[in-house]
Amino acid sequence: MRPEIPPSLIEEVRAARALVVLTGAGVSKESGIPTFRDALVGLWAKFDPEELATPEAFERDPAMVARWYDERRVKVAECRPNPGHLALADLERRILGQGGRFTLLTQNVDRLHQAAGSRRVVELHGALRVWRCSRCGEEREESGGPFAEYPPRCGCGGARRPGVVWFGEVLPRRAVDEAEAAVRDCDLFLSIGTSALVHPAAGLLHEARGRGASTAEINPERTPASDLVDWRVEGQSGEVLPDLVARAFPDPPPVENGPGRRTHPGRQVPP
Predicted confidence at residue 38, as pLDDT, reads 62
At 220-240, the pLDDT tens digits run 999 999 999 999 999 999 999
**Residue 64 lies inside a defined structural domain of this protein:** yes
Structural domain boundaries enclosing 96:
7-33+81-125+170-250
pLDDT tens-place string over residues 82-97:
999 999 999 999 999 9
| Three-state SS letters, the chain | CCCCCCHHHHHHHHHCCEEEEEECHHHHHCCCCCCCCCCCCHHHCCCCHHHHCCHHHHHHCHHHHHHHHHHHHHHHHCCCCCHHHHHHHHHHHHHHHCCCEEEEEECCCCCHHHHHCCCCEEECCEEEEEEEECCCCCEEECCCCCCCCCCCECCCCCEEEEEECCCCCCCCHHHHHHHHHHHHHCCEEEEECCCCCCCCCCHHHHHHHHCCCEEEEECCCCCCCCCCCCEEECCCHHHHHHHHHHHHCCCCCCEECCCCCEECCCCCCCC
Catalytic residue among 85, 125, 206, 264: 125
Q: What CATH number is associated with residue 178? A: 3.40.50.1220
Asked whether residue 60 falls in the same domain as residue 151, the answer is yes
More confident residue, 257 or 109: 109
- Do residues 174 and 157 both lie within one domain? no
Degrees, nearest 5: CA angle 86-117-33: 60
Quick one: 88 and 73 in the same domain? Answer: no
Whole-model pTM: value is: 0.89
Identify whether residues 152 and 175 lie together within a single domain: no
Res. 265 pLDDT band, cuts 50 70 90: very low
Note whether 226 and 112 are same-domain residues: yes
- Indicate whether 22 and 95 sit together in one domain: yes
> For this structure, is 206 an active site residue?
no
